[in-house]
Amino acid sequence: MKTTLATLTFCLVVLMATGFPLEKKGGSSSGSAAKEKRVQYAAWDDVNVIAHGLLQLGQGLKEHVDKTKVQMRDISTKLKVFNRTVTELGKESQKLRVEGEALKARAHGLEDREGQLLNVTAELREKAEEMQHERKTMSERMSRLEERVDNMLQGGAVLPDTNAGAKNNSDARHIQLMLEAQNKRIDDLMERIRLQQEKLDKQNVRIRTLQSQVQQSRQRPSLRNSNTDAQSAVAEQRDSPVEMASDCHELFLRGETTSGVYTIQPINAEPFKVFCEMTAEGGWTVIQRRQDGSVDFDQQWQAYEKGFGSLNGEFWLGLEKIHSIAKDGGYILNIKLCDWSRDSADMRLPFHLGGEETKYLLTTWKAEAFSPLESSLGTDATAACPFSTSDQDNDQKNDINCAKHLSGGWWFSNCGRSNLNGRYFQSPPPKQRHQRKQSIFWKTFRGRYYPLKSSSMRIGPAAIANKS
């Protein structure tokens, strides 16, 4: 465009120079007058050329102006978009700063609470040490008093009078009561220390989570994707802890309080999903649930070994997975039953489950005698019961396969005490007695021929039972 304008301008200058010649100096006046008359007007062709050149120059200038306007509009639009983007980025940056400050404040608050808990724990430990020292002192005094009483009973010392003997007996009783009170106080203090330690564990997990979120918010490469990154970081922290928990109670200690499906990884085992019931006392791992008959529990050995059903509905977790969680012992089996009148029962039994080589042998025990409700499983399992299915007859009946005679798979002894994996019958139950025997039943709850409405089995460490 610049070349075209320059060319047109040059042509105009040449035309004007040739069309309007300048007057020469000298010569006669008459000759000058004649020449002035001869060159006073330019030729018509020259005027047309000049006009045509001016027209082309005007059109070129107009095109240049139009093109410049379009370019200016494009630049203005881009500037508006850029300004809007800068404004949005500024808002997102401000929001990130606010969120970061809030996370920092929460982290500082949790650190302060952790410090307070540490102080309280230290005080409790000091009190416990003082109580233990007092307990030791009282034990020594009690031992000396017992020696004196023994000597008096054996005739090694003569009582000055009966009042002195009565006084010694009273002192002994008083010291014994003091010792019992001191022991109770020490036990209470130890329990409080344990609870404080659990609270500290939860606080530490939450602090680490907040610190991780703060660090991630600082290290994001792009401000534009900041909100998405923050949400994904929180979700990843919730679903994937720093170290995968070995059971539901460990998840509870890490701060999880909502019941639902989680992924755990017991020691020396592959990770798998479980349903966790989070209660005030801790986290329970559910291993069986019956509630509506939506899943057929009349399965064979391999299915009961691997597990089947839906974790959010009816399911059997699987003997392999149950064994991987509780193989090291120290676990409680919690069984809940409910009939069609909404009456319920609840029992807890310490148990041990053997591996595949033992046919998943179930053993239970208690320091005292089993209650009538517990006896339907506990009495048989004290002698250890292997698991049986229709294609793996491991029960104690020589002439009958209990799993085939009844239904499902269970720790059968003589086919008659319990079976929570039997057929599910809606109310009212079938009239035939042999069909009712195949149902979900617990003999010492509502009888062998009463099909239960629902049942659930869950396991947890003994620490849960100690809290309740």
345 Cβ neighbours under 8 A, 6+ residues apart: 336, 337, 338, 373, 442, 445
Per-residue pLDDT of the chain (468 residues; tens, 9 = 90+): 555 555 656 655 555 555 544 444 444 455 555 555 555 566 788 788 888 888 888 888 888 888 888 889 889 888 888 888 888 888 888 888 888 888 888 888 888 888 887 888 788 888 778 887 777 777 777 777 777 766 666 654 444 445 555 655 666 666 777 777 777 777 777 777 776 676 676 666 666 656 655 665 555 544 344 444 434 433 443 444 447 899 999 999 988 999 999 999 998 899 999 999 999 889 999 999 999 999 999 999 999 999 999 999 999 999 999 999 999 888 999 999 999 999 999 999 999 999 999 999 999 988 788 889 998 887 777 778 899 999 999 988 888 899 999 999 999 988 878 999 999 998 778 888 888 889 999 999 998 889 999 999 999 998 886 665
Q: Assess contact for 284 and 460: CB atoms under 8 A.
A: yes
d(CA 207, CA 213): 10
Q: Assess contact for 237 and 212: CB atoms under 8 A.
A: yes
CATH class of 248-461: alpha beta
**Domains of the chain: which residue ranges?**
53-142, 248-461
Q: Is the pTM for the entire model greater than 0.85?
A: no
d(CA 263, CA 453): 29
Q: Which of 303, 434, 313, 413 is nearest to 362 (CA)?
A: 413
Q: What sign has the CA pseudo-torsion 249, 278, 284, 273? A: negative
d(CA 316, CA 334): 15
- What is the β-pairing status of strands 454-461 and 308-309? unpaired
